[in-house]
Structure 1
Amino acid sequence: MEHIRNFCIIAHIDHGKSTLADRLLQQTNTISERELQAQTLDDMDLERERGITIKSHAIQMDYEQDGKKYTLNLIDTPGHVDFSYEVSRSIAACEGALLIVDAAQGIQAQTISNLYLALEHDLEIIPVLNKIDLPSANPEEVKDQIVDLIGCDRDDILIASGKTGFGVDTILEAIVARVPHPVGDPNAPLQALIFDSVFDSYRGINAFFKVVNGEIKKGDKVKFVNTGRTYDADEIGTLRLKHQPKSVVKTGDVGYIISGIKVAKEVKVGDTITTVNNPCEKAIQGFEDVKPMVFAGIYPVDTDEYEELRDAMEKLQLNDASLTFEPESSAALGFGFRCGFLGMLHMEIIQERLEREFNMTVITTVPNVSYHAYLVREPETKILINNPSDLPEATILERVEEPFIKAQIITKSDFVGAVMNLCIDKRGELKNQVYLTPERVELTFEIPLAEIVFDFYDKLKTISKGYASFDYHPMGYRESKLVKMDLLLNGDQVDALSALIHKDKAFDLGKRICLKLRELLPRQQFDIAIQAAIGAKIIARETVKALRKDVTAKCYGGDISRKRKLLEKQKAGKKRMRQIGNVEVPQNAFMAVLKLDD
């Protein structure tokens, strides 16, 4: 155990984690030059296309120093706020963390957020200044920021370049010297923490674990404590670039288990593995349950594919434990699922993965958040409102509470005014303003979560020329003046487009949605009335005009009454058609509500 080091790499998005991980793999000869490609550990097509890490990836390296052989288990983590749950799981399997800071951009919001996560788990932090070779690098100033943040000595900060490989050897030496080895009792009953899992269509579910106490041997009869199921350990091993089977995985090490599990529900991330013959007394404290921030409905385009969509969601949940879902039905879209996501990017990625990995074409409804409603008759009873259509009638409703968040925005001092205007426009309240350096300001706001669900992050990046970084924490619920706005097409309510919004913004938003839908709905043989309504009151209306068939073309010359007769006949036909005609709402109309300003 003295020769094992478990560590993860944490940083803000785009600070060079995955590139530095490549250099570590190269330096320790874990992968050959032939196997190496840029961001080797990002093995999903989506990750390569977008240049972001979506999944944490564990890999084992061998390293020799002063004649001693060490085993280093590295976990590369995502940097985007929407995937912070991946980071918290990775941290639970480690004793140390490399905190990577970009020498040109300095400390950003997610750097601070991930650092606090690591400190809560008492990890040893090794600060690394990356991208030192950039012409715009400002190492001395960024070192001051790191010293202020962590309180370490300036000499403790390592300098490196993931691109050129400069400083990688000193990082490896620092990992061996500074990161503590795992602590556990090799003779105690087996206790192993599952921190990730993945579905393999040939071999069932692979669970990745860290052995805290005891050891696990091939062929052992093992039990998953939370679910109470027992299995045979058909294959165990360590995580190299490809799985490497072993006969035993000992205390402190990270490995995988394949036991022919086919049902996704039987594996829970955060569960404890123990042996049936010598079980442990209690389970390891896993991670807290994930708190979804954004809710949206996902429905199959073809209603017959409902069961296939359920299978796909369960398999995806194995790989991404921060996805939560439950069945729901909609009058407009049939049967589907109400899903909880950690943010808009997370929602986009899930939708894309469903289409690519499982060939499911889905419709996603307008995202919203959960509210609490209280009735006049029972003011103490709280009703959870996940869908605007569940909101009780205004006559029996006493009050509605919406979730608020504490938002921390770090930006350049030039953009403070624009950022403040944006937050106040989103019903935010400025709570604090701290100048970290003369150039960088940290603003703290309290904002309703519903206001940042749509396009807040995109707008923030736009007004700050990409410099502002954003992080948030839930604060609980507060009372608000909220109303339910329905959208009607020819008098029929489209429940997938209903939304709970603040009373003061209802008229403006209703008008803009109607205008947007008028552009997007295809024209029919009859007029389509698009209306936004609050209760029985119509607050906005637009009309998609009918396609006009030239019925009078054959009437050349002659009396006007012949033309009039034909036009009256067509008018009656259009009226009847409107009563029985259905309006097809295209998928882009559901998502258009998010991009009203485009």
Structure 2
Amino acid sequence: MTDNAPTIVSSPKVAAEARRRRTFAVISHPDAGKSTLTEALVLHANAITEAGAVHGKAGRKATVSDWMEMEKARGISITSTAMQFPYSLGDQDCVINLLDTPGHADFSEDTYRVLTAVDCAVMLIDAAKGLEPQTLKLFQVCRHRRIPIITVINKWDRPGRDPLELLDEITERIGLRPTPLTWPVGVAGDFKGVLDRRTGNFIRYTRTAGGATAAPEEHLTPDAAHESAGEDWDRAVEESELLEADGSDYDRDTFLSCETSPLLFTSAILNFGVNQLLDILVQIAPPPHGQLDVEGQQRVLESPFSAFVFKVQAGMDSAHRDRIAYARVCSGTFERGDVLTHAATGKPFVTKYAQSVFGQQRSTLDSAWPGDVIGLANAAALRPGDTLFRDEPVVYPPIPSFSPEYFAVVRGTDPSKHKQFRKGIEQLDQEGVVQVLKSDKRGDQAPVFAAVGPMQFEVAEHRMKAELSAPIALESLPYSVARIVDPEDAEFVNKQPSAEVLIRTDGVMLALFSTKWRLEGFQRDNPTVVLRSLVAAGDN
């Protein structure tokens, strides 16, 4: 086959491969156990032999999904990660595309990009803390994008709240009715196993050393469960019957329409309940479906190949300064070496260096199907939101930039690193690590970083020094509000006290104000000047 020859694949083949795919993200508030759950899922699928780190646990290795040095040092996820692995349930062979996301609010923009590329989300809730602010924001994004949610109440091995109370909170605060598929046997802090509400049986767990290997489980009949767990089992049965009487049983139609959320109880650190989550994902999570293009038309799965880039990441391999673009396959089939069209420029894009990504690890990828995430190396021309297609043109909706609330002037601290400084700033901007703003007044040597949260500045500063050998110093600016301003009004706004107009690298002009009250005062005094809002973190 030549590079320019189109790949012809029958529609039934494309549809069959798409049905095997389950592409989902794990979302949560920080410290809910998201990276630990991600690692446990991969462990139960036999993609790794031993689970990674839980920070504070001596002797355990770093998680596959948290590979950056800052992630290992701080114990939080800073960047999203893609992992693909096979998983079989009975005679059903599936391909899991798992996307781990940052939980910290400062990295909401990265999480939002990931949520444009999935068909389902697993919402992780701490058994002791319940719904937390970042969980609520991410849920709103899922609701807006019509992403079905499976809820997991984690850390049931530790003291926590009453399970019925947690269900009531979910219903009341986010309007999503939980429909438990499993129910805990034993109060929070004394986790013996779960009642499988679909079969009525008891799934009893056994601890393993440090939770580093898959926890053995036994399936017991109700009679045997009563003998084993006594009052804990009886209480679980009674509460399950209350749920049934209340109409809180799983219903596929209301799940897919984002009205209800199947719910499970786990202890990811002990690997309790993780196997059930994998099985549930295979059984009920929706497979890929046709994506809507920028005009609102559906691109059916059997159409010629198309994909959109949702993330660009550099620094994954210190030995190679390449850049990986993560692209979600939306239609057709992908074959390594295909010559695609970059919709933004109309230029060809050669896929000779396509890769399958598993955390930081990479391997050559020969083919991919709808729902898969492909890594495209040497992707200097690609940015988040870009569309790639073959044969039949299509453009998918762009990914909006969030409204920044923190701003800092950037200056190189080593004059001899001028070239590396400019290259590094450009790279961080293209990856979306921060937004980069400039003006004639400040010049190229003093660009402005704009961020949703201050930790983005720490990541940018660390990467400029560690990866790009161009150390920087940041000077905070006294702004906290940004609005889009039209070019004809920019000069007038720029003359106002406590305001400044800067240009983002995509050409959008942003008016920065010191406070929202200063903005409101300006708008009241100048009603003819049009200032438009950007997307705020957690907005619909």
Conservation of the 8 A alpha-carbon contact between 1:225 and 1:273: yes
Residue matched to 1:193 = 308
The answer to whether the aligner puts 1:169 opposite 2:211 as a matched pair is no
Cα deviation, residue 298, structure 1: 0.6
2:40 to 23, 35, 38: 23
| Deviation readout 1:529-555 (Å, 9 max, x if unpaired) | xxxxxxxxxxxxxxxxxxxxxxxxxxx
Conservation of the 8 A alpha-carbon contact between 2:434 and 2:456: no
1:220 to 338, 347, 357: 338
The answer to whether the aligner puts 1:183 opposite 2:289 as a matched pair is yes
| Deviation readout 1:359-406 (Å, 9 max, x if unpaired) | 322221123326799xxxx99975247996969xxxxxxxx99476xx
Unpaired stretches in structure 2, ≥5 consecutive residues: 1-17, 54-60, 182-261, 291-299, 502-510, 524-540
| Deviation readout 1:255-302 (Å, 9 max, x if unpaired) | 1223x44xx4x2111100112xx142x301131133222111010123
1:89 to 113, 120, 124: 113
Cα deviation, residue 186, structure 1: 4.6
2:457 to 347, 355, 378: 347
1:61 to 85, 88, 103: 85
Residue matched to 1:362 = 472
Letter in 2 for 1:283: V
Residue matched to 2:432 = 320
| Deviation readout 1:172-207 (Å, 9 max, x if unpaired) | 121112210001445412210111122367473321
- Please give the secondary structure, in 1, of the residue aligned with 2:323: strand
- Please give the secondary structure, in 2, of the residue aligned with 1:368: coil
Conservation of the 8 A alpha-carbon contact between 2:156 and 2:265: yes
Cα deviation, residue 327, structure 1: 6.0
Residue matched to 1:142 = 166
Counterparts of 1:30-49 in structure 2, within 5 Å, are: 30-33=47-50, 37-49=61-73
Letter in 1 for 2:405: M
- Please give the secondary structure, in 2, of the residue aligned with 1:255: strand
Conservation of the 8 A alpha-carbon contact between 1:328 and 1:337: no
Residue matched to 1:478 = 520
From the superposition, tell whether residues 372 and 293 of structure 1 become closer, same or farther in structure 2 (CA, over 3 Å).
Answer: closer
How far apart, in 2, do the equivalents of 1:251 and 1:216 lie? 9
Cα deviation, residue 159, structure 1: 0.2
Counterparts of 1:10-409 in structure 2, within 5 Å, are: 10-33=27-50, 37-148=61-172, 149=174, 150-155=176-181, 156-184=262-290, 185-199=300-314, 202=320, 204-241=322-359, 242-258=361-377, 260-261=378-379, 264=380, 266-275=381-390, 278-280=391-393, 282-326=394-438, 335-369=445-479, 382-384=492-494, 402=513
Conservation of the 8 A alpha-carbon contact between 2:339 and 2:351: yes
Conservation of the 8 A alpha-carbon contact between 2:310 and 2:385: yes
How far apart, in 1, do the equivalents of 2:435 and 2:178 lie? 37
Residue matched to 2:230 = none
| Deviation readout 1:504-557 (Å, 9 max, x if unpaired) | xxxxxxxxxxxxxxxxxxxxxxxxxxxxxxxxxxxxxxxxxxxxxxxxxxxxxx
| Deviation readout 1:544-594 (Å, 9 max, x if unpaired) | xxxxxxxxxxxxxxxxxxxxxxxxxxxxxxxxxxxxxxxxxxxxxxxxxxx
Name the count of aligned residue pairs. Answer: 392
- Please give the secondary structure, in 2, of the residue aligned with 1:289: coil
| Deviation readout 1:143-182 (Å, 9 max, x if unpaired) | 3212323223355320001110110011112111221000
Conservation of the 8 A alpha-carbon contact between 2:309 and 2:385: yes
How far apart, in 1, do the equivalents of 2:355 and 2:340 lie? 15
- Please give the secondary structure, in 2, of the residue aligned with 1:383: helix
Residue matched to 1:525 = none
Unpaired stretches in structure 1, ≥5 consecutive residues: 392-399, 405-447, 451-476, 482-598
How far apart, in 2, do the equivalents of 1:240 and 1:49 lie? 21
| Deviation readout 1:386-445 (Å, 9 max, x if unpaired) | 996969xxxxxxxx99476xxxxxxxxxxxxxxxxxxxxxxxxxxxxxxxxxxxxxxxxx
Conservation of the 8 A alpha-carbon contact between 1:147 and 1:153: no
- Please give the secondary structure, in 2, of the residue aligned with 1:358: coil
Conservation of the 8 A alpha-carbon contact between 2:499 and 2:512: no
How far apart, in 2, do the equivalents of 1:363 and 1:81 lie? 24
From the superposition, tell whether residues 129 and 212 of structure 1 become closer, same or farther in structure 2 (CA, over 3 Å).
Answer: same
| Deviation readout 1:16-47 (Å, 9 max, x if unpaired) | 10011010010001123398834321000101
TM-score with structure 2 setting the length: 0.66
Conservation of the 8 A alpha-carbon contact between 2:409 and 2:447: yes
Q: Which is greater in Rg? A: 1
Conservation of the 8 A alpha-carbon contact between 1:402 and 1:478: no
Letter in 1 for 2:44: Q
Conservation of the 8 A alpha-carbon contact between 2:101 and 2:114: yes
How far apart, in 2, do the equivalents of 1:316 and 1:227 lie? 21
How far apart, in 1, do the equivalents of 2:497 and 2:330 lie? 42
Letter in 1 for 2:38: A
Conservation of the 8 A alpha-carbon contact between 2:289 and 2:301: no
TM-score with structure 1 setting the length: 0.60
Letter in 1 for 2:341: K
Cα deviation, residue 117, structure 1: 0.5
How far apart, in 1, do the equivalents of 2:469 and 2:77 lie? 22
Conservation of the 8 A alpha-carbon contact between 2:334 and 2:367: yes
Q: Which has the higher contact order (CA 8 A, sep 6+)?
A: 2
How far apart, in 1, do the equivalents of 2:273 and 2:421 lie? 47
- Please give the secondary structure, in 1, of the residue aligned with 2:41: helix
Letter in 1 for 2:420: E
How far apart, in 1, do the equivalents of 2:403 and 2:67 lie? 27
* Larger deviation, residues 29-38 vs 207-216: 29-38
- Please give the secondary structure, in 2, of the residue aligned with 1:223: strand
Residue matched to 1:517 = none
Letter in 1 for 2:343: V
| Deviation readout 1:54-76 (Å, 9 max, x if unpaired) | 10101012111022111010001
Residue matched to 1:592 = none
Letter in 2 for 1:66: G
**Aligned sequence identity (%):** 25
How far apart, in 2, do the equivalents of 1:82 and 1:270 lie? 20
How far apart, in 2, do the equivalents of 1:401 and 1:22 lie? 41
